[in-house]
Chains A and B, each alone.
Chain A
C-alpha cells in the first residue's frame, strides 16, 4: 500500500491542475466568445437585461401568466413539488388552480385549460409555456388591454418557437419574450 501512496498523492494534485484548473480556464476563455459572455442567453429591452432562460412570475391578468412554481420563481434556488401523481394534497392543489384559472378567464371552458398551466415545473423556473397555454389566455388579455384578439393570436404565432430544426421536441413560447412583445404592441 505504501508504495502507492506517494504516486497517488502526486498524481491527484497534477490531475487537479489539469481537470479542475486548465479545463475550467479553457472553457472560461471560450465563454468570452458567446453572445452572453458566459452569463447565458440574455434579453435586452429598454436598457435592462434579463435572463432569457430563467422564468419569471407573471400573475398580473394583463400579462401572459407563467406556469405555477413550487419555489415561487426564486432563482437563488430551484425545485419542484415532488408530489406523487396520486397524492390527495397535490390533486387538490391542481383543482384549486383550475378554479382560479376559470375565475380569471371567464368565457373559456375547462377542456381548454392545458395541463402545463395547472402543474408546477421540475425546476420551478420554467421560462416557457405551451401554445395552448398562450392561446387560452388571449381573450382575457385582449379584453383587459382593449386590443383585438386577432392581433394577440398573430402575436402568439409570431412568438412561437418551433421545434428544433423543425424536427425535434415540442413547440413552445418564452413567457418573458411574449410579454415584452405584448408591451411593445401599442
Chain B
C-alpha cells in the first residue's frame, strides 16, 4: 500500500486512540472530579475567581448561563474591534501593518468570536502581532464557549430532574486551563521541533541562493497554530493557512495538525457517553458520525489523488494527482482527506486550495458544512447532532405510535418547535445569502475568480462556510469588500449563537421535566437502528435542502467539464 494512504489511516487511528482517554479526562473535569493537574491549576483558578468575583460553586439555570455566555462574548467583541481598528499605533507591530477599517474589523472580530475564522485579510499584511495574539486569545475562548454549551447539555441529560446546570464562568475557565492550554502547550512544543517559527521579530530580510533579496514573513506561529486546530478554529497565521511551509513545514507537522483538529470533537462524544453514563449511546453517535465522515472523505481522497482529467488529456504524467493549489510535501491524498476533516468539524483550516479541487470534491466539502454535525466543531458538533436526535426521536415516535421520549424525558411541542427552527435556520442562512448575492451581481460578480458554475460555487461556499462557522473558503473570491464583510458577518452571528441557544434551551427544558423510568414501551435510542434513523433524518433535512443549489454549482460544473 502506498505511503500516502498509510499516512491517512495513521492519522485517523491516532486520533481515535488519543480521544478515548481524553474523553474520560474531559468528563472528569466537567464533573468536578480530581485530576492530575489540580495541584498546579487549582490555586491559579481560585485566584482568578477571587479577583473576578465569581463563585465557582454557584449553579445557575440554563437561561442565566446563556446570558453570561452572551455578555462575555460581547466584551470579547468590543475589545476585538478596538484592537483591530487601532493596531497601527499599538505595540507589537514590527512590520508596521495598518489598522483594519470598520467593516473588515467587524468581519474579522465576529468570525474569530464565533469559531469561524473566515479571514478576509492575509495574516502577513493585515494584522500586527498584537492583533494576532488577540485573535489567538479568541481561538481559546470561542472553543471554550462551544464546549461549555455542550456541557450544559451533558448536565441536563443526566438521569433525574435538574433545575441548575453549573456556572458558565467556572466551566469556561476550567476548559481553558485544564483542557485547551495544556494540550496547546504540548502541541506547540512539537511544532517548534518540526520547524515552525516562534519569534516576535518582524519580516526577515534574506538573500536567495541566486543573490536575489527576499523578505520572509514570520512571527509567533508555533503558539498560534496549536489552538487554531485544537479549538477547531482554523484561523491561519499566514494567508494560505496550513498550506504555508512555515505553518505546516512537513508531513509530520501535517499529521500533528490533523490529529489535533479532530481530537476534541471525537473526545467530546466519548465524554458525553461517560458523563451521562450511557457509553453505548456515545458509540452509536460516534458510529453514525464516522459513517458520514467516511462517505465524504474517501471520495475526496480518491478524486484528488486521481487528478484532473483535463490535465491528464494533455498527455503529461498525472500520477501525483490534482497538484494545482497543493504542496509536494503533503501530497494530493492527504489534502483530499484534510479537505473533509476540516469541513465536517468546523475548523476551516486548509492545507490545499479548495477552490482548485475537483468539482465533486468541492461538493463534498460543501455537504460536510451543510450537515455540520459529523463530529462537528468543539462542543457545537454535539449540539447540532442533538437537534437531529430530537427530530429522529419525534419521527420514530410517530412511526411506532408512541409518545416521543429521549433519556426518560417527554419531547413535546415546545422542544420540537425550537428543534425545527434551528434545523431550518442553517439552510435559510445559506440559501438566502447565496440568493441575495446572485441577485445583486453589481456587488458580487466582480469579486469572483472563476467563470461559470464554479463562480456560483464560490458564492455558495462563502455563505455555507459562514453559516457553518467553518471559515475555509474558495479563496479566489475577493471577499474583502463591504458586501462580503457585512453580509457574511451577520450570517456568522446568526449561525453561531442561535444553534447554541436552541439546543441548550431544549436540553434545559428537558432537564427540568419529570424523569420517566424506562419500560418495555420506551423507544431505544442507543441502538444501531436508531443511529440509522438519525442518519436518515440528517440526509433528508440537511442534505436534500441544498440539492438544487449544489446542482447549479459543483454538479453542473462536473457534467459540463470536458
Q: Write the residues of chain A forming the contact surface with B, with a CB cutoff of 8 angstroms.
A: 1, 4-12, 14-16, 18-20, 23-24, 26-28, 30-31, 33-34, 36, 38-41, 48-58, 60, 63, 67, 73-88, 90-91, 94-95, 98, 110-116, 118-130, 132, 163-164, 166-172, 176, 179-180
Contacts and interface: CB of A to CB of B under 8 A. Distances in A.
Contacts of A81: 324-325, 353, 356, 476
Contact of B3 (A7, A84, A163, A180): A163
A169 to B, nearest CB: 3
Contact of A20 (B53, B75, B133, B209): B133
A19 B177 CA distance: 9
Given A18-B181, A80-B243, 15 more contacts: A4-B72, A20-B134, A30-B188, A36-B197, A48-B207, A75-B215, A78-B122, A86-B561, A90-B324, A115-B316, A119-B323, A121-B325, A126-B245, A169-B334, A172-B329
B137 interface: yes
A97 to B, nearest CB: 10
A56 B314 contact: no
22 contacts: A14-B51, A24-B136, A28-B200, A38-B198, A40-B195, A54-B216, A76-B124, A80-B240, A81-B476, A82-B474, A86-B454, A87-B454, A111-B316, A114-B319, A121-B328, A122-B326, A122-B356, A126-B327, A127-B245, A167-B7, A169-B254, A171-B3
B199 A24 contact: no
B529 interface: no
Contacts of B3: 163, 166-171
Interface stretch (B155-163, B217-225, B492-500): B217-225
Contacts of B356: 80-85, 122
A5 B307 CA distance: 54
Interface string B348-389: 001111011111000000000000000000000000000000
Nearest to A90: B324
B244 interface: yes
Contacts of A85: 308, 310, 322, 324, 356-359, 561
Given A27-B220, A50-B206, A84-B355, A169 B251 contact: yes
Contacts of B184: 23
B469 to A, nearest CB: 20
Q: Which of A56, A73, A115 has the most CB of B within 10 A?
A: A115
B244 A125 contact: yes
B477 to A, nearest CB: 8
Nearest to B177: A18
B71 interface: yes
Nearest to A4: B71
A18 B52 CA distance: 14
Given A27-B189, A60-B210, A169-B4, A40 B137 contact: no
Contacts of B359: 84-86
Contacts of A126: 245, 327-329
B245 A14 contact: no
Listed from nearest, the 10 A-B pairs whose CB atoms lie closest are: A82-B476, A169-B251, A122-B243, A168-B7, A10-B52, A84-B454, A31-B198, A128-B328, A41-B195, A82-B355
Contacts of A5: 71, 75
B169 A11 contact: yes
Interface string B513-524: 000000000000
Nearest to B558: A86
A89 to B, nearest CB: 8
B328 A170 contact: yes
